[in-house]
Amino acid sequence: GSQWIFGAPNDLLGSQYVLGHEAMKRMQTSNVLVSGLRGLGVEVAKNLVLGGVKSVTLHDPEPASWSDLASQVCPGAPRCAQVPAGVSQVCPRCAQVPPGVPQVPAGDAAAPPPQVVVLTNSPLEEQLWVGDFCHSHGIKLVVADTRGLFGQLFCDFGEDMVVSDANGEQPLSAMVSMVTKGCPGEVTCLDEARHGFESGDFVTFTEVEGMEELNRCGPVEIRVLGAPARGARGKRLRDALAEPELLVTDFGKAERPPVLHRAWQGLHRFLRQHGRAPRPRHQGDAAEVLALTKEVAAGAELDEELVRELAFQATGDLAPVNAFIGGLAAQEVMKAVSGKFTPITQWLYFDALECLPEENRDTLRYDGQIAVFGAELQAKLGAQKYFVVGAGAIGCELLKNFAMVGLGCGPEGSVTVTDMDTIEKSNLNRQFLFRPWDVTKLKSERAAAAAREMNPALRVCSRTDRVGPDTERVYDDDFFEGLDGVANALDNVDARLYMDRRCVYYRKPLLESGTLGTKGNVQVVIPFLSESYSSSQDPPEKAIPICTLKNFPNAIEHTLQWARDEFEGLFKQPAENVNQYLMDPKFLERTLRLAGTQPLEVLEAVQRSLVSDRPRAWPDCVAWACRHWHRQYSNNIRQLLHNFPPGQKTNSGTLFWSGPKRCPHPLVFDPDNPLHLDYVVAAANLFAQSYGIVGSRDRAAVAELLRHVRVPPFAPKAGVRIHVSDQELQSASAALDDGRLEELKASLPSPEELPGFRMFPIDFEKVGAACPAPTPPPPPLGSKLIAGKIIPAIATTTAAVVGLACLELYKLVQGHRRLSSYKNAFLNLALPFVGFSEPLACPRNKYYEVEWTLWDRFEVQGLQPDGREMTLRQFLAYFKKEHRLEITMLSQGVSMLYSFFMPAAKLRERHDQPMTEIVTRVSKKKLGRHVKALVFELCCNDDSDADIEVPYVRYTIR
């Protein structure tokens, strides 16, 4: 068949953040052949293109059929003439070929030799001879296949595969306390700390005293005492069939991979003998596959029902399974060409049989997805109404999968997607529904249009409203009550928590997923069965101690955070404080009421901005930047060394400058040093912008101005206290120096003396300055990743995660009621690791004999039969009579509506008021016409006058 080659997107920052510069260079010189272009092959190719390989050659001699529509292939065109939708469209019947995309027919000498071959939908005989050829010619091989809810993956990267980075985590470092000479030498870490190294790792040494030769040697392989050494093998496919090494992904199914390894071989024997796959739910074909599998097993124990299920589903082709296995397979290809991350050794088998109906499995019928689940589920999928929150990387994958499985494609169904962001160039390498000509357009609109092109029957609606408390008039009761479920595609925890609360309140299932580089997770929230997303959260990010940042940095993260704080303190906060001082007559009064030493710091900063450091022209800005450089990188360090000179010992007798306290060295300013000059140019321009002064990027002119700047010589200050720990800082005296405060107040010009003056806050978090670091600085992308707290996304992880999420969708649509049928997933494709766990059941509470969970509530109808609304007195009496509960406190949001300790006069006033009137008066907000019900929180006592915990109240008013 013919072949087509297409190029990768230009902007690959997502992949570059995850893989690193060297690995990306290897990726961008690699060529990959993908053979077999049903749904799985197309998914692999799409992920490779987004990942940034140099070229992908697509091969499949079979013509496309209507059943391939789920694989995004246009019927009537050869499969090999397809490139995944959303990446580039090479098929003339689908779209115009983008400029610069080379097209190479089969046999053309221009077709590059591949470094990796990917086989999908391939017979075992073809796999074997291709495997032998690749193994003997140093070509790496990936074999992947899916059959219904089953998938398999095999990797052979040869016996000489070198992995330069096993897990993609930041390189480990540890403080060494002692090195014992000998062969082998023994290294002890400081304070017996857990160093995190493993046998087989390579390390380098720096600053070792007494054995300086260690500082000059290259990376040394280590063995961790008591830990086994690691190894890796790359057996060819023929050998790996007989002696498989199996990666277990679901420890609840640990016994299945050996059975599936033989069952797939039995299936291949059936395919060879009959030239077709077993017919869906055909007992005779399934029995023959079982008999062939028993021949392969040669007496080994088999789960016969599992083998039959593989035969029943052999004609099935499910987009979510293709997405999951395709994401994993593409990541293995990227490992093969880049040497980054640990390859699979060597077989992975996957099944998601929990997606099948919990009852009446024998009613399943034919064709594609219907061959696995039956026509009834297909009709249910078409009638679903789903809400996709976010149209980024995960959102695009969700819409693609929804279009492929037919979600919301029936006359009663719909999919609504919302995202307020516009498309940027950097989105193109992972948000594959977007094209270069979509840049600057709204994400939700273009994503909906692209998904509709994949499946014209998809009833998709796009919105651009942020989901949150301020848009509850848009996403109101009618909107949420009309949904069947929600799929989150969000990038922040606050929005996730809000959507989780909405889903709990409206009792809607939630598909929650997220990625971080090669890591990903899926959580499914099932009404009345599982806990919610909010029930358990990650611990807060550990903050860097202030004293470590200011005086004792020992890691690149410390110096980068120091630079961020420096930027805020120099440009952003002073500008905000000065503008408030000029516009707010009570600024000084409010500032002086602040606790601790903050008022002094704020007023000193304002005084510097308006008096001592205020520039009049560009040369003043250059002089300020030069003096500031000396203060930060020379004078402050000299003061620190004056307080704590080298060689000084602590009370315990140990050296003060030891361990994590690294002795700093003051710098000497040199205008001919490019780094020093860069700092002055950048800082001076930022300073000038703050005052509305025109700056300059002329380095020669700045260097000339620097020759006329006078910098006072350093003289150590007496009485300066430098805190060694945050505890010492907190316990320091917080007394204010009233004399100094009065002096500052007197030196400040009044706002009337500065007509029209204002400062301009710098609204971007970037300062072109570098601070001296005790550790080697990371490459620019690494600095940007750390300083910007960027969460990188890559297509492989996104595809795998969304594939797993959509497998949970099958269960939700069918209405599975056994919690054990559902799976939360956790994966790290770098290791590689895929793990599944049963969702946690929702915690159960009890009052009297009534059990309740977070999904339960009291339903109270506010309007009485006579048309009048319930009063507070009636509300309290209702709970006393119907639930034997005495309400002691009642609130709505942050508004306290009733409490037993309220003044008697206020209670008499409120007792006979309608509930909505009380809410409006206390909150001082009118209830919108979109509000159909109010939420009340209760504190109650039972018959014994004991406090008890009870559900909230949904009080219906319309």
Q: Scanning the structure block, which residue is given the tokens 């500082």? A: 215
User: Do residues 895 and 901 lie in contact, with contact meaning Cβ atoms separated by under 8 Å?
Assistant: no
User: Do residues 600 and 736 lie in contact, with contact meaning Cβ atoms separated by under 8 Å?
Assistant: yes
Q: Exactly one of 189, 547, 663, 939 is catalytic; which is it?
A: 547
Residues 6 or more apart from 780 whose CB is under 8 A from it?
none
Three-state DSSP state, 305? helix
- Computed from CA positions of residues 667, 673, 676, 680, in that sequence, does the dihedral angle turn out positive or negative? positive
**DSSP class of residue 159?**
T
Burial class (CB in 10 A: 0-12, 13-18, 19+), 94: middle
Q: What is the phi-psi region of residue 482: left when phi exceeds 0, alpha when psi lies from -120 to 50, beta otherwise?
A: alpha
User: Do residues 835 and 826 lie in contact, with contact meaning Cβ atoms separated by under 8 Å?
Assistant: yes
Structure tokens at 414: 């719909």
Active site residue 547: yes
Helices (DSSP H) in 573-666: which residue ranges?
A: 573-583, 587-592, 598-607, 618-630, 636-643
Would you give the end-to-end CA distance of the chain in angstroms?
65
Interatomic CA distance for residues 692 and 445, integer angstroms: 39
Q: Which helix (H) or strand (E) holds 332?
A: helix 319-338
User: Do residues 273 and 265 lie in contact, with contact meaning Cβ atoms separated by under 8 Å?
Assistant: no
What is the CA 294 to chain-centroid distance, rounded? Answer: 44
Positions of E strands within 264-390 = 347-351, 385-389
User: Do residues 1 and 78 lie in contact, with contact meaning Cβ atoms separated by under 8 Å?
Assistant: yes
**Angle 781-787-790 (CA atoms, 0-180°, nearest 5)?**
70
Interatomic CA distance for residues 574 and 157, integer angstroms: 57
Interatomic CA distance for residues 416 and 486, integer angstroms: 10
Structure tokens at 816: 């599975």
- Computed from CA positions of residues 78, 393, 425, 13, in that sequence, does the dihedral angle turn out positive or negative? negative
- CA-atom Rg of the chain in angstroms: 33
SS3 track for 33-78: EEECCCHHHHHHHHHHHHHCCCEEEEECCCECCHHHHHHCCCCCCE
- Computed from CA positions of residues 693, 699, 700, 703, in that sequence, does the dihedral angle turn out positive or negative? positive
Interatomic CA distance for residues 105 and 594, integer angstroms: 74
Instruction: Name the amino acid, one letter, at 159.
Output: E
Q: How many CB atoms sit inside 10 A of residue 160's CB? A: 7
How many residues can be counted in the chain? 958
Give 3-state DSSP helix, strand, coil % of the chain, rounded to 5.
40, 15, 45
Q: How many CB atoms sit inside 10 A of residue 16's CB? A: 22
**Range 558-591 burial, b when 16+ CB lie within 10 A, else e:** bbbbbbbebbeebbbbbbebbbebbeeeebbeeb
Structure tokens at 598: 């903050």
Which residues form the catalytic set? 547
